[in-house]
Structure 1
Amino acid sequence: MSAECEPPGTARTRRWIAEAVETIEADFNRSADTHLLRVPLPAFPHITLYLKDESTHPTGSLKHRLARSLFLYGLCSGRIGPHTTVVEASSGSTAVSEAYFAQLLGLPFVAVMPRATSAEKVVQITRYGGRCHFVETPCAVYAEAEQLAAALDGHYMDQFTFAERATDWRGNNNIAESIFAQMAREVHPIPAWVVVGAGTGGTSATIGRFIRYRRLATRLCLADPEASVFHRHLADRSVRLADGRSSIIEGIGRGRCEPSFLPDLIDRAEAVPDAASLAAARVLSERLGRSCGGSTGTNLWAAARIIADMSARGETGSVVTLLCDSGERYRSTHLDPRWLAERDLVLDPYRAAVDAFFDRGLCPAAALSV
């Protein structure tokens, strides 16, 4: 796509935007919906667990949905034009997906990311024609991305502000509508719980709003890394910054309470140790026969605690959570024994606890002390 540099209201620019929207919609039309996988729970015969497998998107993660929505939002709001350089602050996965859509539209893209971002994500961003701009600390990405966009006369996408408003939460094939449509023929079609992590907060906002809009009894659980601020903010709304520690689980958990995170939609929060997330991801990968990233492990650990609580109360029902991305994105980090050893991460006790959940019906937190 090309056009001369003109004001956004000109006929030529409007035609380019119309073509850009059509290009994104055509790409969506070529893509199938993601699968909803049932996970066997031999120790819980009256409770079913499902994983929405977002790793099968064209760019390999849940963030594909967000990137598409953010591009459409920027185009239709007049903020992205035929020569706009798109800039994003990201821990990796959103940047991968946005690089894909920028390439689709022929636009330059720059990802501002922490230097510790996995090498596999960096390779994917550059494969789609994007450029990586690194900062030393995660908290520096916001200001750096805003300044860089201004210097390039570009558009700072700002997923952390616009995630909750860019997606149509009433429907339009968002993730919530897809989950509940796929659950329609299951034994327990209305989940007792949906468990999600939060990076921007956009996914939890979309699902939480959809639940209320459809007047469903489903409750929403936040699965949050221990170092993240979100679960602290839920307990005390005056807390908006974490204590300086950072999580190694890319894509979820933040050091500041992001504008797109809507705490009033969350019914329960589970703080999950990083080692528990990585161990749970490994156990799930082995049991499913497909690779799972660390944020999926965070989701599983929180879902396991909910399922154990349901069983203890004699409840039946279904629980849905997300397989966010593939563990193959973390070969150089989470899956590297030397990388784990350098950070003193010991997974064996947590792996045993997750196995005890599946095989013996033990709450994983309780199994750690057995």
Structure 2
Amino acid sequence: MTTSMQRADRGWLNEAVRRIEADYNRSADTHLIRVELPRHLGITLYLKDESSHPTGSLKHRLARSLFLYALCNAWIGPDTVVIESSSGSTAVSEAYFARMLGLRFIAVVPAATAPPKLAAIRFQGGEIHAVDDPRDVYAAAHRLAADTGGHYMDQFTYAERATDWRGNNNIAESIFAQMREEEHSVPSWIVCGAGTGGTSATIGRFLRYQRHATRLCVADPAGSVFHRHFADPAVTTLADGEGSCIEGIGRPRVEPSFVRHVIDRMIAVADADSVGAMRALSAALGRSVGGSTGTNLIACAQLADAMRDRGEEGSIVTLLCDGGDRYACTYYDDAWLARHDLDHRPAEAAMRAFLGSTA
């Protein structure tokens, strides 16, 4: 590469980073919603509302970090085709940043991904490459990168290292800043899910770095390998035919970004229970939330019950990962639930009681 070409590429890089940083400066931090638990006196639940990001989900943070990481490693240039394997939300967010930089973006997604998510990817300027078997997304993304001469972002490998876990307004630092004036400012638990493992790695490392007593619980779909690997490190993949319908979390293989040692507890949650909790919380908030938020909420209820039974007071913080509008044709469609043999009603009733709602 000639010196003039290097200067041109550095000029483009500088502008690309500036655009991403300017977008960040225009975006306020996400809200922390306080939820009273009338049956658990002295225990308060908080929801970190990641649905308020410009692309509507927790994955907006990850996509920003992945783009900055790839740019500063000189993996992306002005003509690079950007490719990602995703169940939907990460692809929506990455398509947003790719369009911001004038780059072509291709999302490799499982064919069963909810149509509204596919529409959101296309709305942001992204292209869709669907594969029938979710386990094939990795290989398909590598092939596309080779065929186009592009760059495979590979969220599953780089999620845990692209985010600065020491601070720099990562999600953990934001939670503690917003909790500062609450009665129990240091949470007893923070609860999140694991798709790449990047969020749990960031939170778990931050807790140790800041020497907080807070423990980290990862809520995982029952049809996921992560909680099995947590219990037995020798387990790294699911058997054929196993899996979960909760998009965004749970995986058939242990991803490189999943760091089990920074997690204090994992709770496996049935898909039907996730949907029931999601629906109950949506009724309590007056707006719909996604399925992975329901997974988190089931774990929060178990932790709150245990704290109450031990006579403990404190706070629990979890993530409201995305809104429910992307799941109108799946989790909010009773016919779809029936076809997938998911009876959400018992969990919904139990969660309404947990939240103190009779609506």
Shorter-chain TM-score: which interval?
over 0.9
**Is contact 1:6-1:13 (8 Å) kept?**
no
Taking a change above 3 Å as real, the CA distance of residues 139 and 36 of structure 1, as seen in their structure-2 partners, is: same
Once the two structures are TM-superposed, the CA of residue 8 in structure 1 deviates from its matched residue by 11
AA matched with 1:220: L
- Separation of aligned partners in 2, 1:52 and 1:254: 23
**Is contact 2:284-2:355 (8 Å) kept?**
no
- Separation of aligned partners in 2, 1:83 and 1:77: 16
- Out of 249, 252, 260, the residue aligned to residue 252 of structure 1 is 249
2:211 aligned residue? 215
2:86 aligned residue? 90
2:153 aligned residue? 157
Q: Tell me the secondary structure at the aligned position of residue 134 of structure 1.
A: strand
Taking a change above 3 Å as real, the CA distance of residues 235 and 8 of structure 1, as seen in their structure-2 partners, is: farther
- Separation of aligned partners in 2, 1:78 and 1:180: 33
1:366 aligned residue? none
- Separation of aligned partners in 1, 2:4 and 2:138: 26
**Is contact 2:85-2:108 (8 Å) kept?**
yes
1:183 aligned residue? 179
1:363 aligned residue? none
- Separation of aligned partners in 2, 1:172 and 1:140: 35
Name which of structure 1's ranges 299-308 and 327-336 shifts more when overlaid on structure 2.
327-336
Once the two structures are TM-superposed, the CA of residue 304 in structure 1 deviates from its matched residue by 0.5
1:344 aligns with 2:323: no
**Is contact 1:291-1:326 (8 Å) kept?**
yes
- Separation of aligned partners in 2, 1:188 and 1:301: 21
**Is contact 1:112-1:132 (8 Å) kept?**
yes
AA matched with 2:137: V
The answer for unaligned runs of 5 or more in structure 2 is none
**Is contact 2:277-2:295 (8 Å) kept?**
yes
Taking a change above 3 Å as real, the CA distance of residues 6 and 290 of structure 1, as seen in their structure-2 partners, is: farther
Task: Calculate the TM-score normalised by the size of structure 2.
Answer: 0.97
- Out of 186, 192, 197, the residue aligned to residue 201 of structure 1 is 197
Q: Tell me the secondary structure at the aligned position of residue 295 of structure 2.
A: helix
Name which of structure 1's ranges 331-340 and 299-308 shifts more when overlaid on structure 2.
331-340
Taking a change above 3 Å as real, the CA distance of residues 354 and 119 of structure 1, as seen in their structure-2 partners, is: same
Q: What per-residue deviation string (whole Å, max 9, x for no partner) do you get for residues 2-45 of structure 1?
A: xxx98997000001001000000000010000000001211112
- Separation of aligned partners in 1, 2:3 and 2:114: 39
- Separation of aligned partners in 2, 1:38 and 1:8: 55
- Separation of aligned partners in 1, 2:220 and 2:3: 43
The answer for unaligned runs of 5 or more in structure 1 is 361-370
Taking a change above 3 Å as real, the CA distance of residues 7 and 225 of structure 1, as seen in their structure-2 partners, is: farther
Once the two structures are TM-superposed, the CA of residue 109 in structure 1 deviates from its matched residue by 0.1
- Separation of aligned partners in 2, 1:143 and 1:7: 36
Runs of 4+ in 1 over 3 A off after TM superposition: 5-9
Q: What per-residue deviation string (whole Å, max 9, x for no partner) do you get for residues 59-116 of structure 1?
A: 0000000000000000000000000000000000000000000000000000000000
Once the two structures are TM-superposed, the CA of residue 336 in structure 1 deviates from its matched residue by 1.0
Name which of structure 1's ranges 346-355 and 193-202 shifts more when overlaid on structure 2.
346-355
Once the two structures are TM-superposed, the CA of residue 345 in structure 1 deviates from its matched residue by 1.0
**Is contact 1:8-1:81 (8 Å) kept?**
no
**Is contact 1:279-1:351 (8 Å) kept?**
yes
AA matched with 2:23: D
1:295 aligned residue? 292
Task: Calculate the TM-score normalised by the size of structure 1.
Answer: 0.94
1:1-370 equivalence runs, <5 A: 10-244=6-240, 245-359=242-356
Once the two structures are TM-superposed, the CA of residue 333 in structure 1 deviates from its matched residue by 1.1
Name which of structure 1's ranges 350-359 and 303-312 shifts more when overlaid on structure 2.
350-359
- Separation of aligned partners in 1, 2:299 and 2:105: 35
Q: What per-residue deviation string (whole Å, max 9, x for no partner) do you get for residues 89-144 of structure 1?
A: 00000000000000000000000000000100111111111100000011010010
Q: What per-residue deviation string (whole Å, max 9, x for no partner) do you get for residues 134-171 of structure 1?
A: 00011010010011111100000000000000000011
- Separation of aligned partners in 1, 2:121 and 2:56: 12
**Is contact 2:289-2:324 (8 Å) kept?**
yes
Q: What per-residue deviation string (whole Å, max 9, x for no partner) do you get for residues 244-295 of structure 1?
A: 3110000000000000000001101100000000000000011111211000
AA matched with 2:16: A
RMSD: 1.3
Over the matched positions of the two proteins, sequence identity in percent amounts to 63
AA matched with 2:72: C
Once the two structures are TM-superposed, the CA of residue 357 in structure 1 deviates from its matched residue by 2.3
Q: How many residues align?
A: 356
